[in-house]
A = this chain, B = another copy of it.
Amino acid sequence: MTLKLGIIGAGRIGRVHADTLTARVAGAEVSIIADIHAPFAQAAAGAFGIPAHTADPAALFDLPELDAIVICSSTDTHTRFIKAAARAGKHIFCEKPIAHDLAEIDAALAAVESAGVQLQIGFNRRFDANHIRLKQAVDSGEVGAPHLLHIISRDPAPPPIDYIAVSGGLMMDMMIHDFDMCRFLLGEVVEVFAMGACMVDPAIGAAGDIDTAKVMLRFENGVIGSIENSRQAVYGYDQRVEVFGSHGAASSGNRHANAVTLSDGRSVRRDLPMNFFMDRYMDSYAAEMAAFVLAIAKDQPVPVNGNDGRAPVVMAKAGMRSLRENRPVRLDEIAGALS
């Protein structure tokens, strides 16, 4: 049986999913792609051999042959499309974050629940070989009882200022992946403390955001964690995690396109790490979609559900409050956090 999917959004991430779903995921077929910018939809359809395209995303909910909708449109449209897809009885894959507002998220999750469809959230890093190996090191006891966690996550360059303004801020847009990684590796967090600053580009500060941040986290199980983010690492995408515990440590390094070392009169060097998430995490995008398609096909729970999409939003909100108030903030202080 082949799962038939429709994609909403033919921007960067929409094209990533179109690419992997058409070329690398077994058991899936993309029937249509929608984008409110018609040329985007048309271009993606052409590039990935998708038979139909439309400028009207809502049209997809009426197509009876579609089993699932992949939502890759801008964040402010996510819950609207989730609710519409749920009403239409379609399974849903939605990019992160679900929304910036918890009440809005809760309404969407309720719609999913009552429709009895499945919803997977796009935390692709859970499907990356490095992070999977780290989780295995934790789960198998290789590191023993976990004591400390440190996550480094740095982008090669900041997004356009226009995007910054609607992104929800660094913690909601970028660190949200790291908040999810915390939960993926070590479970629930109860309290966070944040420091942040605008160091990369004053225009980011002028847009009301920060570009550099460090957050400390206390986990339910006692682990003490930290996350550091920068919008700009000149040497490329920097994604490293270390879990330290009673039996040892597991640390991931960056991935490089080649394993060649060059030695000359000045240094012993490697080429830069993979430059951005499109290179670094491409395999994880294929794997998350394969997992989604398989879960739907086998009628099993999806690996990253609505609650997994909601929790990091709470963490981001707690982080932002900590930043504003310069104090540790418990997650249960965030309105509706325990819903």
Contacts and interface: CB of A to CB of B under 8 A. Distances in A.
Given A193-B193, A195-B218, A269-B267, A148 B212 contact: yes
Nearest to A262: B250
Contact of A247 (B133, B234, B257): B234
Interface in A111-137: 129-130, 132-134, 137
Interface in A319-339: 326-328
A230 interface: yes
A326 B192 CA distance: 11
Contacts of A264: 142-143, 234-235, 247-248
Contacts of A129: 257-258
A87 interface: no
Contacts of A259: 130, 252-255
A199 B230 contact: no
A132, A137, A195, A247: residue with the most chain B Cβ atoms closer than 10 Å? A195
Is the interface on chain A under 10, 10 to 19, 20 to 34, or 35 or more residues?
Answer: 35 or more
A214 interface: yes
Interface string A181-208: 0000000000001011101100000000
A142 B262 CA distance: 8
23 contacts: A23-B23, A130-B260, A137-B260, A147-B197, A147-B230, A148-B212, A154-B244, A193-B216, A200-B246, A214-B225, A232-B246, A233-B244, A238-B249, A238-B263, A247-B264, A250-B262, A250-B263, A251-B261, A252-B259, A254-B259, A266-B272, A267-B267, A327-B328
A224 B195 contact: yes
Contacts of A257: 129
A222 B197 CA distance: 8
A271 interface: yes
A145 interface: yes
A150 B200 contact: no
B260 A268 contact: no
B228 A226 contact: yes
